[in-house]
Structure 1
């Protein structure tokens, strides 16, 4: 199991820029990277790619890592041909369907697993809610949607996924340059974490995007927001439910979560004065007051009618049927910082609500 000691993560998080010229060079020499028993075809290894090896040299200099170690690790990374295809967006014109999307996550298997997870980790969830102000059901919703509470954490080697997306990101993607740079920064952060901790760079398994653990943290998120919530001296987002719970809560606080604030309120639309284009223009960013939304034909219902903060009109398309609308608060926006999708955020919220209801608990629902 991959462990990153707490001290190592603090060091890396503080060293996102190059170390000073006075720092001792390469304080740890890593052992040479052994060849695998059954090596893949050389054409699949990044050792044969000049751009990958140049990146390795530059990374080693920026992060003060052993250049031979970085070259050896990146050189043994494999190109995964299926990964670039998975990064391409759905073809233009593909209809979105909230009902179908919801049914993938808010369903009996995940709800039962969520109840078990909550019952087994009730103390850690209560502690996270007390310390961070993030309700247990939101954390439970995240871990259920992401990995079914650790059952589906991904089986690809993280080094392979990150290398593939760093050097072979699909050019057909509309934001290919930006996204490739993002994955190169994640590869850099991953190797920095591994090097400082002494872990094996080929051990970690994750998603096709390189996300790891119960909460599917990218390496930069691990470095910045992962916490040793069970206080055992190291951070383990693969095997410690408590660490995953605390880390998800810490992530939300860092991205603007406000304790006690609902995620959304119900709305109804007045067709006679509805200015849907204006209401949807800011997308999921809370922009409108209750009065401003009403002036454009979207009336906030229930407790939301007296809400004094900013709101966003969230549209969830339902294929050929009428869309679903809600008014999202800053906390709804905070959930989308985990995955930039209103469909994802609503699935997290409603799965958490369903698990809470199944175990007889309170639910953070818009009134």
Structure 2
């Protein structure tokens, strides 16, 4: 209740209304369990992760989504410079084209994580503050738009709608792309498409730039530790990248911007690598995972290839 009163004061909201909304929230033990970190030593596996998303059901649904929303996707690509394939990839990975938008009450999920975030998490303090901020954004958003804060449903982390926007992302990046006077990420695929494109543009998407290039290694020159040190943040020029033993071909050698060595584990099998560009890094701003970014990119591109082959 102290949080509610402080929020109401800072956001100029009715304190009684904020208290009422927070008091009706329920603690959800499942949400706490799902947010707990994976056990230490759990191996990552890009091949297995990829197979969850580049599979027949999602590919068929993605083709239907693209065909049904072709004009909105083309308009978003023209206005924001973000490829239709990337937008289709994001919505496919996030919600299987609206089929799985989440069944947790958003108010319950956010309040649970704002006040009962698992202490076993290495970043518990930071994440607690994040979810308190998201709860604040959520109550402000619903009050401002007239949406019922007790009725909306989303993921166990409080993400909402076809593109799974957190409340802060909804407030900053969601747009009325269908021109009906309101932003609706639950029921308007056009708003979802425009909002995803706007999100990437806001994070610095560069039109026409690839997300990544193939990369091999020169064993004699290879300094993999140095190449991996910046993680996925593009840091190396083509010259410094290749000087440390990375081998590029074709268009990659003419890339004008910085590159990062992106490493993808494959369980016990050899690891996969790509040379990530600034646009690859932009994709990870949607979900801070190189595995997620590659799945989004490859799902959208595979769907596009299937449509073009018809």
After TM superposition, the score normalised by the length of structure 1 is: 0.83
CA contact (8 A) 2:95 2:164 kept: yes
What is the CA distance between 1:198 and its match in structure 2?
A: 2.1
The match for 1:172 is 120
Mind listing any 5+ residue stretches in structure 2 that lack a counterpart? none
Q: Aligned partners of 1:268 and 1:200: how far apart in 2?
A: 53
Greater Rg by CA: 1
Q: Aligned partners of 2:172 and 2:7: how far apart in 1?
A: 19
CA contact (8 A) 1:265 1:302 kept: no
Map Cα deviations across residues 303-342 of structure 1 (whole Å, 9 max, x no partner).
1011121000000111111111100000000000000000
- Give the alignment partner of residue 163 of structure 2, picking from 215, 221, 225: 215
Q: Compare 305-314 and 120-129 and name the one that shifted more.
A: 305-314
Q: Compare 265-274 and 218-227 and name the one that shifted more.
A: 265-274
The match for 2:130 is 182
User: Within the alignment, does 1:109 sit opposite 2:57 as a pair?
Assistant: yes
The match for 1:87 is 35
Aligned length: 309
CA contact (8 A) 2:89 2:297 kept: yes
The match for 1:356 is 304
The match for 1:159 is 107
Q: Aligned partners of 1:111 and 1:153: how far apart in 2?
A: 18
Map Cα deviations across residues 54-103 of structure 1 (whole Å, 9 max, x no partner).
10011010101110111011001000001111112211211110000000
C-alpha RMSD of matched pairs (Å): 0.8
What is the CA distance between 1:250 and its match in structure 2?
A: 0.2
Q: Does the residue aligned with 1:313 lie in a helix, a strand or coil?
A: strand
CA contact (8 A) 1:286 1:333 kept: yes
Q: Does the residue aligned with 1:257 lie in a helix, a strand or coil?
A: coil
Q: Does the residue aligned with 2:8 lie in a helix, a strand or coil?
A: helix
Q: Aligned partners of 2:174 and 2:93: how far apart in 1?
A: 19
After TM superposition, the score normalised by the length of structure 2 is: 0.99
Extract structure 1 runs of 4+ deviating beyond 6 A. none
Mind listing any 5+ residue stretches in structure 1 that lack a counterpart? 1-52, 362-367
The match for 1:145 is 93
